Amino acid sequence: SGTDEHGLKIQQAAAAAAMSPLQLCAQVSGLFRQALTQAAISFTDFIRTSEPRHQRAVQHFWAALRDCGALYKGSYQGWYCTSEECFLPESQLVDHRDAQGRMCKVSLETGHQVHWTKEENYMFRLSEFQEPLQKWLRDNPHVISPVPFYQQVLHWLEEDLPDLSVSRERSRLQWGIPVPSDSTQTIYVWVDALVNYLSVVGYPETHSEWWPAAHHVVGKDILKFHAVYWPALLMAAGLAPPERIYVHSHWTVQGKKMSKSLGNVIDPVSCFGQYTVDGFRYFLLRQGVPEWDCDYYDEKVVKLVNSELADALGGLLNRSTALSINPSNTYPYFSESCFPKISDYDRTQALGKASAEDYELVASVASLPLRVTSYFEGFQIYKALECIALCVRETNGFFQRHRPWKLEQKDPAEKLWLDTIIHVTLECLRVYGILLQPVIPNIADKLLSRLAVEPEERSLSSLTFLPRYNGKPCPFEGRQLGPDTGILFHRLEKSRQSQMKNKRL
């Protein structure tokens, strides 16, 4: 992770705050780093574009572009948006009346004002890479996902692809990396920022160990920079384009994009305190759909986490580990006579106590790790969580259907079936806990600790569901369950909902 710190927008913000750009960036990057820690998001490196290692990488990359003839100096003019740090064509602009009643032009997508700019810059021969980019996409149809964004990039490449201005006059933009051998120019912030992907893996000395195994996760508003400009720049510099680009849409509030001017920006740090870190992470990943924008409102968070974390998952754990049905507080034994392995669900009642629905549950949970892994790898996190939530509901149905609290523990036959019901339920919970670790790490840890699953037994690679059903030994049978019998996730009560007015930035 890291922060992109150069550009005219930062330069102007620092001046308005009576700070140097470096002071402002140090302050803001510290807040971002702190937010990542609070959100339980780990990172192997936090790189800032103001660091010397990045500046060296950018200057080396620029030299590679220059030496291959991909750069030339020319006059450029157009509508420049300082907020977005880019030139916008007329087709992306609309006339607007500002606060003083004067007519101006603004970005059609963001509403930010643009200004007519004319200056001498270095240009990148982007037009020469139109066919190589088209071939790259045709040869790699899965490089950009979801599919609508792949199709969007193909559409862009069917239109004219003008050369790209890749520097700014130093007299106007001082806060940036100077163009090598030309003190009058500053490298364009987006070229600078994109090279950060290389800087962090040791470019130009040690990057080959990691590149081109690059998977980018980007917002749809910066897709052109990552899927058109960046691959072309890499090709020109003799490097391979990224292997995958995962694109996501935006969270909106009442159908509108979040912005400071509208006062509708949701502060995630505030939400951590309101819904817990795990609760808010779960909501965002469960409800966020990459293909289209999703609308945010507080009541939706409360309803979802109460239903799926507190009631469905937490309730199932509490009921299945209750001392009233498991007074020994151990992981019960599985009975093959009660739940024999069969291939014909219609013969279940003749062979044991399990029903056809029970066998369908076992089959569904057995296939769950593979399905979830596939969705995770495809950046379809919401589909993975949807699958898990469905299985949790089905497991609750299994537990409720057989009413283990009604079984007589002193009757040997009923005790076998009681233990088997609990065993199957705990096995399902163990699978859910392991699969949910990347999403709700604190809740997953609490759940697995309650089931007495040791840290070395929590990896996906070693996950085996219901081994006794398949005639293999189960290492958990007879093991004492964890001592924490508290509530897995406390419900967010209605009385608190009225107090949940998000802090607006």
For 443-454, give the DSSP string.
HHHHHHHHTT--
3-state secondary structure of 78: strand
Name the token pair of 28.
Answer: 């803001």
pLDDT in tens, 91-111: 778 888 887 788 888 887 777
Average pLDDT, integer, range 179-191: 93
pLDDT in tens, 246-255: 999 999 998 8
pLDDT in tens, 430-478: 999 999 999 999 999 999 999 999 999 999 998 999 999 999 999 999 9
Task: Identify the DSSP state of 330.
Answer: B
33-42, Cβ contacts within 8 angstroms, sequence gap of 24 or more: 33/1, 35/268, 35/269, 36/1, 38/269, 38/272, 38/277, 39/268, 39/272, 39/277, 39/281, 40/277, 40/278, 40/281, 40/441, 40/442, 41/1
Question: Domain boundaries in the chain?
Answer: 2-248, 272-470
Average pLDDT, integer, range 19-27: 95
For residues 229 and 258, the model is more confident at 229
pLDDT at residue number 350: 55
Residue 130 and residue 54: Cα distance in Å, rounded? 28
pLDDT in tens, 333-357: 999 999 999 876 655 555 789 999 9
Average pLDDT, integer, range 408-416: 94
pLDDT over threshold 90, residue 322:
yes
pLDDT at residue number 14: 94
Q: Please tell me if the domain spanning 2-248 has the same topology as the one spanning 272-470.
A: no
Name the token pair of 323.
Answer: 């001392």
pLDDT over threshold 60, residue 495:
no
In angstroms and rounded to an integer, the radius of gyration of the C-alpha atoms of the chain is: 28
pLDDT at residue number 98: 82
Asked if the 2-248 domain carries CATH number 3.40.50.620, the reply is yes
Q: Which residue, chain included where needed, has tokens 């950009």?
A: 144
For residues 347 and 38, the model is more confident at 38
Least confident of 110-124, 128-142, 490-504: 490-504
pLDDT at residue number 499: 46
pLDDT over threshold 60, residue 496:
no
Question: Domain 272-470 adopts which CATH fold?
Answer: Isoleucyl-tRNA Synthetase; Domain 1 (1.10.730)
CB of 168 within 8 A of CB of 119?
Answer: yes
pLDDT at residue number 346: 59
pLDDT band at 19; cut points 50, 70, 90: very high
Average pLDDT, integer, range 219-229: 95
- For a pLDDT cut of 70, what percent of the chain falls above it? 96
pLDDT over threshold 80, residue 498:
no
Q: What's the pTM? A: 0.88
pLDDT at residue number 504: 44
Average pLDDT, integer, range 258-282: 90
For residues 333 and 492, the model is more confident at 333
Give me the chain's average pLDDT, please.
91
pLDDT at residue number 256: 86
pLDDT band at 502; cut points 50, 70, 90: very low
pLDDT in tens, 351-397: 789 999 999 999 999 999 999 999 999 999 999 999 999 999 999 99
pLDDT band at 280; cut points 50, 70, 90: very high
pLDDT over threshold 50, residue 62:
yes
pLDDT band at 505; cut points 50, 70, 90: very low
Average pLDDT, integer, range 283-293: 95
Residue 270 and residue 277: Cα distance in Å, rounded? 10
pLDDT at residue number 242: 94
pLDDT over threshold 70, residue 230:
yes
For residues 373 and 209, the model is more confident at 373
pLDDT over threshold 90, residue 235:
yes
Residue 113 and residue 82: Cα distance in Å, rounded? 8
pLDDT band at 45; cut points 50, 70, 90: very high
Task: Identify the DSSP state of 503.
Answer: P
Report the sign of the C-alpha dihedral through residues 318, 321, 323, 325, in that order. positive
CB of 282 within 8 A of CB of 308?
Answer: yes
pLDDT in tens, 120-178: 899 999 999 999 999 999 999 999 999 999 999 999 999 999 999 999 999 988 999 99
> Dihedral angle at the C-alpha atoms of 119, 120, 124, 125, nearest 10 degrees?
100
Name the token pair of 51.
Answer: 């660091």
Classify residue 218 as left (phi > 0), alpha (psi -120 to 50) or beta: beta
pLDDT band at 500; cut points 50, 70, 90: very low
pLDDT at residue number 349: 58
